[in-house]
Amino acid sequence: MSPADDPAAPPVRPLRGAVVGLGMMGRHHARLLQTAGVTTFAGAVDPEGDRHGAVGDPALVFPTVHRLLDRPADERPEIAIVAVPTEEHLPAVLDLVAGGVHVLVEKPLAESPAVARELIAAVRAAGVHGAVGHVERCNPALRELRRRVLGGQLGQVFHVATERLGPFPARIRDVGVVKDLATHDLDLVGWLGGSGVTTLAAQTQHRMGRPHEDLVNVVGRLEDGTTFTTMVDWLSPTKVRQTRVLGERGMLVADTLTADLTFYANGEVTSEWDAARTLRGVSEGDVTRYALSRREPLLVELEAFCALVRGDEDPGAVTLDEGLAAVDLADAVLRAAASQETVRVLPVRATDTEEIR
């Protein structure tokens, strides 16, 4: 039983939490840090100020991390969420961990595997906790999908397919669709499929005149033989967010826009199939849509990170090594697309030292 579930346990003091970057993501983190009751609010950092009106007390908006950390000891943050543009993650993390602050870094962890490794080394050297904001793992439909896959509902898993399509968000400046969006999927396929990616091939499109790709299609294989496909773009005129896991007993389909999970069971083999004898295959069976409790994924992520910092051994926070693995896979996807060859992917570890998480 975790301390939170034990009525006899002393009340847990909320951690003092801050957010660095008050943009599209940071404003949501700021809201939860101020209102969710998991933390007390220690402030926000953004050189551009609070353009979205995300912080109730303007005195708690600081232009730099140093100014945030200059506060009296009992007001300084214990944890911080790093929600600056991806290429700014490393400098922000370096400043925070030098001040002894535990960091939850938005995904992707960094713009390249080398920078991700540097970031992880700094977190470990500082002896603080780090985790990565792969918030899709907190989506109720995907959590339930994974629980059912691991529980054996599908029998052997054959294939994982993800689709993340939609229009271009003009705020993205520093990376292409592979690092910005496909890192979600590259993290999910192994998490859902139950083993790491071993090989992949990829095709990209550049249609918007930006230096980076705006569409990617990946096909690959996991260690246990499960295959996967990932289709991601910024070119589609409507948003699609679908994840399918196909196995020997049917298919689970998660729509992460609506947080719906549906099971399409294989039907009974028909007499027609029996008559053919040489043919084996599936037919349509019962369809079940599950009722799910829909907790806000970003809040679930924050709770897991706070539990990690408090010493919970396995709170479900995404580890820094897992964040590095997603960055490494994104790098492999771009190499595969550039070379037009299938790329072998090696399991990654940031360093040989023991992970602090």
Ligand X SMILES: NC(=O)c1ccc[n+]([C@@H]2O[C@H](COP(=O)([O-])OP(=O)(O)OC[C@H]3O[C@@H](n4cnc5c(N)ncnc54)[C@H](O)[C@@H]3O)[C@@H](O)[C@H]2O)c1
Give me the residues that bind ligand X (CB under 6 A), please.
20-26, 45-48, 83-86, 88, 92, 106-107, 133, 135, 171, 180
Q: What single-letter amino acid sits at 61?
A: V
Residue type, 301: E
Judged by CB, which is closer to ligand X: 84, or 215?
A: 84
Question: With respect to ligand X, which residue has the nearer C-beta, 180 or 214?
Answer: 180
Nearest distance, CB of residue 310 and ligand X, angstroms: 23
User: Given the DSSP bridges, would you call strands 240-247 and 227-233 parallel, antiparallel or unpaired?
Assistant: unpaired
The residue (of 88 and 223) whose beta carbon lies closer to ligand X is 88
d(CA 271, CA 210): 56
Least separation in angstroms between CB 25 and ligand X: 4
First to last CA, the chain: 21
CA 204 to chain centroid: 22
Give 85 or 196: the residue with its C-beta nearer to ligand X: 85
> What is the closest distance, in whole angstroms, from the C-beta atom of residue 207 to ligand X in the complex?
21
> Closest Cα partner for 218 from 205, 204, 230, 235?
230
Rounded Cα distance, 21 and 49, in Å: 9
Closer CB to ligand X, 85 or 316, in the complex: 85
Q: Which residue is nearest to ligand X (CB)?
A: 23
What single letter denotes the amino acid at residue 317?
Answer: A
Least distance to ligand X, CB of residue 256, Å: 10
Order of strands, edge to edge, in the sheet holding 15-20? 61-62, 39-45, 15-20, 79-82, 102-106, 130-133
Residue 50 CB, nearest approach to ligand X (Å): 9
